[in-house]
């Protein structure tokens, strides 16, 4: 299947191809355990239901001062449009091409920030915020995570470069938000592996996705959610 890569969920195979390959980073990573999305507060709990504008979401993104020393925000850049071929994953084929590289979220209200952490092997940390009705957010992110983790292994070919992919569901922090998803992605190419943890939290009408090396995701998830869902 040949597809087009558009704006993608967190770290994607194409994004990782644009940064130097690095050794597997497992610092702070927890053992992978299979788990589906987990429900948060019981039905009827109060929720922030009004969608936020992109401008409002932008003010809720983390900044360097929130993260601490050693972080540099990368300049925003336009989306890449590389041809991608997915081999060996019927679940991704059924969902559609965008999911092959992480799943395109096309919600009209969104904001994104990418940081380089110079304190450890030039790791990257990405935060994405989306806003829409709770039902739309839940359905879209759920389909993407289910498709990506539906195949334990598959291959992505981009620009003539073959990337072996491995995905594992992780147990998401059920105490955060209304719904949670998490996965561990391993990208293997040229004899080197890169591990990326991706965690999504839906809180009312706000969807937070953080991606990066497992230790950075674990370190900053709580503060990212707190800022993303703070009362205006």
Between these two residues, 92 and 112, which has the higher pLDDT value? 112
Tokens of 143: 């389909």
Mean pLDDT estimate for the chain = 77
Q: Where are the chain's structural domains?
A: 5-19+48-228
Class of domain 5-19+48-228: alpha beta
Closest Cα partner for 143 from 92, 106, 108? Answer: 92
Tokens of 144: 């993407």
179 contact partners, CB below 8 Å, separation of at least 6 = 37, 38, 39, 40, 138, 142, 201, 202
List, for residues 159-218, the tens digit of each pLDDT value.
788 899 999 999 988 899 999 999 999 999 888 899 999 999 999 999 999 999 999 999
Q: Which of 39-53, 71-85, 209-223 has the lowest mean pLDDT?
A: 39-53
């Amino acid at each position: 299947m040949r597809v087009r890569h558009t704006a993608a969920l967190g770290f994607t195979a194409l994004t990782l191809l644009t940064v130097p390959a690095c050794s597997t980073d497992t610092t702070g990573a927890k053992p992978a355990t299979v788990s589906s999305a987990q429900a948060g507060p019981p039905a009827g709990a109060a929720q922030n239901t009004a969608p936020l504008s992109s401008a409002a979401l932008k003010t809720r993104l983390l900044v360097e001062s929130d993260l601490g020393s050693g972080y540099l925000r990368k300049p925003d850049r336009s989306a890449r449009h590389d041809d991608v071929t997915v081999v060996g994953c019927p679940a991704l084929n059924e969902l559609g091409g965008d999911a092959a590289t992480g799943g395109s979220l096309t919600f009209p209200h969104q904001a994104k920030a990418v940081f380089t952490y110079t304190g450890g092997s030039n790791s990257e940390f990405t935060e994405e915020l989306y806003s829409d009705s709770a039902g739309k957010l839940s359905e879209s992110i759920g389909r993407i995570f289910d498709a990506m983790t539906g195949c334990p292994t598959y291959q992505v070919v981009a620009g003539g470069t073959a990337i072996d992919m491995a995905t594992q569901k992780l147990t998401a922090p059920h105490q955060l938000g209304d719904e949670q998803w998490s996965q561990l992605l391993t990208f293997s190419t040229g004899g080197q592996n890169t591990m990326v943890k991706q965690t999504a939290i839906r809180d009312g009408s706000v969807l937070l996705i953080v991606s990066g090396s497992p230790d950075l995701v674990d370190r900053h998830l709580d503060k990212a959610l707190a800022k993303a869902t703070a009362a205006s």
